[in-house]
Structure 1
Amino acid sequence: MAENKTKATDQDVTAFLEAVDHPVRRADGLVLDAMFRRITGWTPRLWGPTIVGYGSYDYVYDSGRSGTSLATGFSPRKTALSLYIMPGYQDYSAIRDRLGKHKIGKACLHINKLADVDLSVVEELVRRGVDDLGRRYPVTGS
C-alpha cells in the first residue's frame, strides 16, 4: 500500500506562519495557531510543507490501509484558510449554521478570512472535532 504523503516534519511552525505572503492569511494563521494551542494544549508540528498540525492519531481503515495523521490543524493556503477536523465536518451542520461564511470538504473547512466567521464557533468546532476523534481513535498530544 502507498505511504501517506503528508507526514510530520521538524520545520519551524512559527517561521512558516511568519513567512506566509498574504498579510491577512499570515495574521489569521498566527491567531489560529494561538487558538489551537490553547484549545488542545499541544505544540504544533508542520505536516508536509503547509499544514500546521496538533496531536496525531494512528488509524486503520476497513480496507486495511493504515497510517498516522494530525489530529487537528489548519493551513493558510493562497485561496483560503483550511481547517482540518479529522472526523470531518458533515455531522456538525448545526454548529456550522452559526459559523458565518465558509465552505466544507470531507475533512476541511474553508474560510476566506477569520473576519468572515464567529471565532467562538471555530473554537467550538475544533474542540468537538478533537473530542470526537478521541472517541474513535487514541489521540496523542504533540
Structure 2
Amino acid sequence: MTTRANGLDEIKALAGRDLGGTGWLEITQERVNTFADATDDHQWIHVDPDRAKDGPFGAAIAHGYLTLSLIIPLFNELLDIQGVRMSINYGLDKVRFPAPVRVGGRIRLAGRVASVDEVAGNGVQMLLDFTVEIEGADKPACVARAIYRHYA
C-alpha cells in the first residue's frame, strides 16, 4: 500500500515510519542486457547465461548497480509525495550488495523513513533505509540509505 504525504508537515510526520514493501519484480535477462548496453558493462556473468551456469552463482546475475537503480521505480510504490515545489534525490549512504540477484529471480523493496530534518530553503531532508529483498533468499540483494530533499 502506498503512503501519501501532502506538504512538508506531513513529510515530517513520517519520521520513523515503516513504509512496508512493494510487489515483486522479476529480473529478466532482457532487463540485464539493456542495462549492460546502457552502462557498457558486458561482463559474462551478467550477459552470457550459458557461460554463467558454470560460474560462481550457477546462473547469470543482475549488475549490482541495476539492482540499486531499481530502487527508484519501486520506491514510487511505497511513497507518494504531493504539495511540494520540488523533490530531489540528494544521494546515497552505506550502499552494500550482500547477495546476487539471479536472472529469473524476483525482488521487492522494503523501506523505512529513518529521519526527516529541516534544511535551508524551506525544505526537509529525508533519510530512508531501503532493503532490496530477494524472494526465497536469506540475504538481501541491496541495502542502502537514500537521501531525498523536498522543498515547499
**Do they fold alike, i.e. is TM over 0.5?**
no
Q: TM-score range by the shorter chain?
A: under 0.3
Structure with the larger strand share: 2
TM-score by length of 1: 0.24
TM-score by length of 2: 0.23
